[in-house]
Amino acid sequence: MGILDWKHWIVILVVVVLIFGTKKLKNLGTDVGESIKGFRKAMSDDEKLSEYPPAQQANTAVDAPSIIDGQHHKL
């Protein structure tokens, strides 16, 4: 008999049900299930996106102004 015997788990479960009630526990279970479902969907969508090669970017870079002299001259 360890500290986490099956009898202890039943007592803990009964106390949790008495404190929170079955409705809150049901809502909590539903929320956790939906979160896991959304996470799995996001992971599978991410895998689908990684199957395709990245699109080539158009070469639309604008020439950046270059500094010819390190000093600023007033005109």
Report the alpha-carbon distance of residue 24 to residue 18 in Å, rounded: 11
Burial of 25 (0-12, 13-18, 19+ CB in 10 A): middle
* Domain boundaries, given as residue ranges, for the chain: 17-50
Q: Is 40 left (phi over 0), alpha (psi -120 to 50) or beta?
A: alpha
Q: If pLDDT is split at 50, 70 and 90, which confidence band does 45 have? A: confident
Span 7-13, average pLDDT: 92
Diameter over CA atoms, the chain: 92
Q: If pLDDT is split at 50, 70 and 90, which confidence band does 48 have? A: confident
Structure-block tokens of residue 34: 């939906």
